[in-house]
Every structure is written in structure tokens, then in C-alpha cells.
Structure 1
Amino acid sequence: MKKRNLWPFLFIGIFSFTFSMIVWTIYSAVNTPVHEDETFLKSYQDLDEHYNDVVNSNRVFSSKYNFQIVFNENKEFGLVIDDMFKGQRVIEKTSAHKKTFVKGKNKVAVKVTDKAGNIVNDLDINFRISRPTNHKYTMDFKTEDFKIENGEYVTYLDLPLKGNWNVTGNFKASNDVGYIYIKSDATEQ
């Protein structure tokens, strides 16, 4: 009786398993959607290159205008951008921005006045609310989506899920642009 050498089968098995894992990895990567980060509604490359311009633009905007964005008549923000440096867990534990929204209907009101207190009526609004994990529930709003009520630009949005949401946008008055970026969450009503 001849003794069989089983080593070639072991190497063929290892090679087959490795090759199938490579094919599976490539297949999974190709079928996974990729969403670019669009903080401040800019590409990440543009933001990386011009972040100081965003900060300076907010400084100039704040020197000329009073800006308020109010969610559900109880959470008021100015030109907040520092949330982009915080992880979602930090926001959940320590931020004053948590529990800004409710699952369901939410009201957003934007009020911009010049330093003399005159309402800015020609505001150009680009506003986005999205889930931090994907773009399935991304909602974009433009100036025409807002109605002017009592000197405020007002719109309503319906958040279908509780959990984490990001708000980003820019607001242009004359040639000056103000930016916001807020990480928050929606709770049950």
C-alpha cells in the first residue's frame, strides 16, 4: 500500500480559501455605497483646503449680522461650527445640542438682522439635515422651501427616525456667508 502525500491538498485548500476571501472582499466593497462628507455643503477636499476661510467668513458675517436658528421653538443656535470636531458619543454625553429634534414634525426658524436690527429679506439659504451614517434620509432645503413669518424664515421637516442627525448649511446675505454645523439627535415625542 502506497502512502499518499496530502500536503498538496492542504495548499490547494488554503489557496482556494484565500482567493475566495479576496473575491468576497472586492464584491462587498463594490456593492457598499460610498458617501462623501459634505460638511458645510462643500466637498471634503475643498473644506480641508479652505477651512480657515469658513472660520473667517463666520467672523465677518457675525460682525455685520445677528444670526439665530431655532429648532422647535426651544433650541436656539448661532453660527455654530465646532461640532464637526466632536464625535457623536461626546455630543450624546456632554453637548447642549442634544435632544434638539423629535421624531416626526419639526419646525426650523432662521432669523437674520443687521446690526441696526433690520430684518434681512434677501437671505440665500442652503440647509441640510442628514443621518451621520448614510444619505438615505438626507433632506436639502433652499430659500424657496422657507416661508417668511414674522421676520423669520420658517420651514417644517419630518424626521422619520429617532437617533443622531447632523445639520449643516450656509446662509448668504449680500456677499457675506455664515456657516453652521450641528450634531444632535431626535427623540420620541
Structure 2
Amino acid sequence: MKRNYWPLFFIGIFLFTFSLIVWTVMSAVKNPVNEDESFLRTYQDVDTNYNDIMNSNQIFLNKYDFTLVINDEKFGLTTEDIKFSQRVLEKHSKHKNLLKYDKQNDIKLFVIDKITKEKKAIDIVLKITMSSSNKFDILLKNENFTNTQNEYNTNFKIIEENNWNITGTFKVDGLTGSIYIKTNAI
């Protein structure tokens, strides 16, 4: 009598496939999950309220002149980098090589009322985060800044040479402006 080994072959394929599924799930569970927090919100909240965020920026800019200076580079209330991936930034970004690796990085910011021309007090929440991990996040709030006549200054150190995102919100008299800059540290 001749033996038929086909059923054993199918059982072997099934067990091999099942073991690959188990290995994939176990490997995925071990990897960290880093949630994107653009504009200091979850991506679902940004997706739902994106138009509100952009409209709020426009209202903010209609009333105030916003100036952010990072390592002697001057910025307005920009969010244009949100449409670029990190790889595209290498070719198209105006913000490339903005941060300094293993050196002090300086930030200065102020808001001027367009009508009265006076510098306004700002409620600041600024986050500098690596694009691939939140392990080295730097969260800067008002208490991290020195305030000299409503001109806010601080410095921080980047300890990882990588791609970085700078995101934050600035509240002045109930109006909120948001910023999003993608750059790298060299």
C-alpha cells in the first residue's frame, strides 16, 4: 500500500504560516508606538479641526505680527512644512539645517499688535520633537522662557543628530496661533 504524504504537507504549510503570524504579532507588540502630535493635538483632532486651526492662524495674523527667531533665522507663523514628508524637506525646505546638534539652540519670540504697535504677553506651548520618536521631546512653556518686556527668550540643547519637528501654539488675548516647522539638526 502506497502512502499519501499530501495531508502532512498541508499541515506543515499551515503550521509554518501560523508560526509566522504569531511571530509578526509578537514583533509588532514589542515595537514602540509614537503618536503624531502636530499642533500639540492627536492626528485625529488635527484632521477634524484642520480648517479651524488654519482659520485661527489667519485671524491671529490679521491682528498681530508674530516673530519667531531660531538660531538667528526669522520665521512668521508658518505651517507650510506640514505638507512635506521628511525626505522631501531635504530638497524643498527653507528650514533645512535650522537646529544645531550638541550645541545651544536659541529661541526668541514676540508678538506685536498691528494697531497699537505694542508687544503683547503670550501664553507659549512649544514642542521640539524628533520626527521618528518622542523619546527626546523638548517641551517649552512660559516658565522655560525669560520674559523681558514681552520678548521671550530661551535656549535648549539637541542631543540627537536627526530630523526634528517644531510645533506649538501661542495664545494672545484669546486668539491662538499655531506653528509647524520641519527641520534637521546638524
Q: Deviations over 1:93-151 (max 9, x none)?
A: 1211101111022111111111132111x310010011111111111111111112464
Aligned residue type for 2:55: N
RMSD over aligned Cα atoms = 1.4
Tell me, yes or no, if the aligned pair for 2:125 and 2:141 is still in contact at 8 Å: yes
Q: Deviations over 1:37-63 (max 9, x none)?
A: 111011112111111111111111111
- The DSSP-based 3-state class of the residue aligned with 1:101 is coil
State whether structure 2 residue 70 is matched by structure 1 residue 67. Answer: no
Aligned residue type for 2:27: S
- Amino-acid identity (%): 45
Instruction: Could you tell me which runs of 5 or more consecutive residues in structure 1 were left unpaired when the two chains were aligned.
Output: none
Q: Residue 45 of structure 2 aligns with which residue?
A: 46
- The DSSP-based 3-state class of the residue aligned with 1:102 is coil
Tell me, yes or no, if the aligned pair for 2:70 and 2:108 is still in contact at 8 Å: yes
Aligned residue type for 2:49: H
In 1: Cα distance, 2:149 partner to 2:155 partner: 16
Q: How is 1:26-175 mapped onto 2 (pairs within 5 angstroms)? A: 26-73=25-72, 75-104=73-102, 105-115=104-114, 116-120=116-120, 122-149=121-148, 151-175=150-174
- The DSSP-based 3-state class of the residue aligned with 1:14 is helix
How many pairs does the alignment contain?
A: 184
In 1: Cα distance, 2:91 partner to 2:159 partner: 23
TM-aligned CA deviation for residue 16 of structure 1: 1.4
In 2: Cα distance, 1:92 partner to 1:111 partner: 29
Aligned residue type for 2:97: K
Q: Deviations over 1:10-51 (max 9, x none)?
A: 222211110111111111222222222111011112111111
In 2: Cα distance, 1:76 partner to 1:17 partner: 58
